[in-house]
Structure formats: C-alpha cells, structure tokens
C-alpha cells in the first residue's frame, strides 16, 4: 500500500511538472509578403529553424509555432532578393521582402541607323548579363533582374548607356542618337552658342535650346562662344534621354591703377590667376586694362620687391585700385650701441638688432620713426 501511494504521488508530480513546462512555452506567428515592385511573388520558399512554407499566389506567407528569435530566409530560383535573410524577434509581427524576378530583354544596336554585328552588350543591375549582337544587330539578354544599365562595346564607336527594366520592351541603342539641351546665362537662355559633338556642330536657338545628332566617335558634348566662359564646357553623356545643360558666364574687362602709398607704380604685371597667359602691364601712370577675364576670376599683381593682395572679379570694373606694399630693411647709425631702438611705422613697431630693422607692409609716404631713451 505504501508503494502504491508513493507511485501515485510521483505520477502527480510528473504531471504537474509537464503541465508547468507546457504552460511556459509561448509560441508566435509571423506573416509577411514577398513583392516584386507592386506585385506579389508566388512560390517563394520561406524557411527558419522552426520550419518552412511557400508564398501563395499573391506572395503572402505565414509561419506559426515560432518560439524564439530566428533567421527567416527566402529563396526562389528565378529571383534576386535585396535582403534574402532577416531576423525574426518575438515582438515582430510582419516581415516583408523585396524581390526581383528574372526577365529577358531584347534590343538592337545601330550606328546611324545601320545594324552592328558582334557588338558586346552588357547589362548591369540586380542581376547582370552579357551577350553579343547577331548579323542584324539584334541581341537578347536573358535572366537579368531589376533596373539595368545597358552598355555597348564595339571598336571605336561610342554609345551612351541606356537604363532599362522589364517594362522597357525592345531597346534601341544608336550611336548617332539626338541629344537635346539648353545653354543658360543667368536665368535666361543664350543663343548663338556653338554646340559640338565630334564632327557635328549646331548653334543654339535664341532661347538657348538645341538638338544635335551625336557623333558616334564620342560621348562628349561641348559648348563655346566668343567672349563667354562655360562652367562645364565639356559634358560627358551618361545616359540616353538626359537633357544637357550648359551654364555660361560673360567674360569681363577691367581697368584701374596701381598705387604704393602716394605714388603710382609702373611696370606692374596684372594677370589672371586662372589664365596666367592673359596679362597686362601698368604704364608710367600706373594704369592698366585687361580683357577676357572669367566669372569669379582672380587678379594677381606682380613686381619684384613689392607685395599685392589678390582681387576676386565677378563683373566688369573700370575703377580698380590695387595697392602695393614692400618690405623695408634699414639700419640705425649711432656712435655707440645701436641695438634696442624702437623703429615704428603706423601700427607696427620693431626693435633693432645688430643695427638693423625690418618693417613689412610699407608704402611710399609712410613716416618711419626711431627712438631710444637717451638718444635723439
């Protein structure tokens, strides 16, 4: 009887333990969707340590009986995923994944409307691809994914890359495509600007707009006009369909005079910092005139023995006044010790040493004084 009681109590304790353990094991449910753009993707395998499932026809999935944080992994043979693995935490309710299904893209490579065979066509994107054109210039890129940049290599012929996707249909790459754009001068368009692409050139309309046939030998579009400077005179095309915009600045002429204190300075070289070959020299009256300066150009003045400050130019000027200074080196003569003299000019004072002194920023007409207690 005693053994039966002990056995019964042991069984009760075991049942109580199992019940307690079962009650403490909480489970969680995770839902989500696999999307390619705005479309759900069916047949994606969604797996974790607790099990796996497959998305339905609308891309939805559901995982149940999750008990702890775990990795959720999605796979499908004909898809690329931005993040194929994400972490599920117990407070997570939903995990969605971005997906890019493979697709094929066809097109044609031309030069001046004529097909190019054996051209290498490459696609760079979520999943890359490469192929070669046939005798009629046709190509087929298979199993690429997402937005891709299509580029072509064919000898010395230059092609502008094209951005495409699964909705693009047939892609035509013609090395002699038309490029449109505008030349701006401030808030207005600038007419009469020469736009060049290789051997092709045209003039902009009165409102600054243009359309030019791209030369197959280059991807560079250039702008030029006399008495104007361009912020971006040469633009390398990066994709078909882009609008090319040039920014123009009118060149400036400046004139003025160079002084050092109360004297004019002749023989001073005034030059453009951006274009040192463009310079003028002051005459006997210290006057100069300089043409062809760029927007935000900088004027530099040079003459041996003199110092000048640089001057920024953003518009034409006729009243520039350039000031020069120089370094004055001198000595103090005395019958005995010449050190310790205070030599002053305007707001600077130096002390003589070994009979000498040096003063910077001196101009003609400045008053120089020297003093020392007990001397006059």
Q: What is the pLDDT along the chain (376 residues), one digit of tens a residue?
A: 444 444 444 444 444 444 444 445 788 999 999 999 999 999 999 999 989 999 999 999 999 989 899 999 999 999 999 999 999 998 889 999 999 999 999 999 998 777 889 999 999 999 999 999 999 999 999 999 999 999 999 987 888 899 999 999 999 998 888 889 999 998 999 999 999 999 999 999 999 999 998 888 888 999 999 888 888 899 988 766 678 999 998 888 899 999 998 899 999 999 988 888 889 999 999 999 998 887 778 999 999 999 998 988 877 788 889 999 888 898 888 767 677 888 888 888 998 888 888 888 888 888 998 888 877 7
The hierarchical CATH code for the domain 178-249 is: 2.60.40.1120
Which residues of the chain are in CATH 2.60.40.1120 domains? 103-174, 178-249
Query: Residue 209 and residue 226: Cα distance in Å, rounded?
Result: 18
DSSP code at position 316: -
pLDDT computed for residue 247 by the predictor: 92
Radius of gyration of the chain (CA): 40
Query: Residue 11 and residue 349: Cα distance in Å, rounded?
Result: 106
Please report the sign of the dihedral spanned by the C-alpha atoms of residue 108, residue 109, residue 114, residue 117.
negative
Determine contact, residues 160/152, Cβ cutoff 8 Å: no
The CATH architecture to which 252-325 belongs is Sandwich (2.60)
pLDDT computed for residue 114 by the predictor: 77
pLDDT computed for residue 9 by the predictor: 43
Helices vs strands, H then E, count in the chain: 1, 39
Q: Which CATH number fits domain 28-100: 3.30.70.100, 3.40.50.2300, 2.60.120.10, 2.60.40.10?
A: 2.60.40.10
Class of domain 103-174: mainly beta
Tokens read off for 182: 């505008």
Residue range 170-193, pLDDT digits in tens: 999 988 888 899 999 989 999 999
Determine contact, residues 163/237, Cβ cutoff 8 Å: no
Question: What CA–CA distances, in Å, run from 40 to 55, 57, 79, 91, 300?
Answer: 9, 7, 12, 25, 66
pLDDT computed for residue 42 by the predictor: 97
Query: Residue 243 and residue 221: Cα distance in Å, rounded?
Result: 11
- Residue in the block written with tokens 């004529």: 114
Q: What is the largest CA-CA distance in the chain?
A: 136
């Amino acid at each position: 009887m005693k053994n039966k009681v002990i056995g019964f109590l042991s069984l009760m304790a075991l049942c109580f333990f199992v019940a307690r353990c079962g009650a403490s094991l909480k489970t969680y449910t995770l839902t989500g969707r696999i999307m390619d753009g705005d479309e759900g993707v069916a047949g994606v395998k969604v797996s974790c340590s607790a099990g796996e499932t497959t998305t339905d026809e609308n891309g939805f999935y559901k995982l149940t009986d999750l008990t702890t944080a775990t990795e959720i992994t999605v796979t499908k043979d004909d898809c690329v995923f931005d993040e194929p693995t994400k972490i599920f935490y117990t407070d997570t309710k939903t995990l969605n994944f971005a997906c890019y299904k493979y697709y094929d893209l066809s097109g044609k490579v031309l030069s001046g409307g004529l097909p190019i065979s054996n051209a290498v066509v490459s696609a760079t994107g979520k999943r890359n691809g490469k192929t070669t054109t046939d005798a009629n210039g046709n190509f087929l890129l298979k199993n690429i994914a997402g937005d891709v940049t299509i580029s072509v290599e064919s000898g010395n012929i230059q092609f502008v890359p094209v951005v495409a996707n699964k909705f693009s249909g047939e892609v035509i790459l013609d090395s002699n495509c038309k490029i449109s754009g505008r030349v701006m001068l401030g808030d207005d368009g600038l007419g009469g600007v020469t736009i060049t692409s290789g051997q092709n050139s045209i003039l902009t309309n009165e409102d600054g707009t243009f359309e030019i046939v791209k030369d197959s030998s280059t991807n560079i579009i250039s702008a030029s006009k006399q008495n104007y400077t361009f912020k971006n005179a040469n633009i390398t095309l990066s994709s078909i369909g882009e609008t090319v915009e040039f920014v123009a600045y009118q060149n400036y002429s400046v004139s003025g005079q160079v002084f050092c204190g109360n004297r004019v300075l002749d023989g001073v070289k005034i030059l453009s910092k951006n274009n040192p070959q463009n310079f003028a020299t002051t005459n006997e009256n210290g006057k100069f005139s300089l043409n062809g300066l760029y927007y935000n150009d900088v004027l530099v003045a040079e003459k041996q023995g003199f110092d000048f400050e640089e001057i920024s130019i953003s518009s034409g000027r006729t009243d520039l006044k350039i000031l020069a200074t120089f370094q004055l080196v001198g000595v103090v003569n005395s019958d005995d010790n010449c050190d310790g003299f205070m030599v002053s000019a305007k707001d600077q004072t130096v002390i003589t040493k070994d009979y000498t002194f040096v003063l910077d920023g001196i101009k003609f007409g400045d008053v120089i004084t020297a003093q020392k207690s007990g001397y006059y």
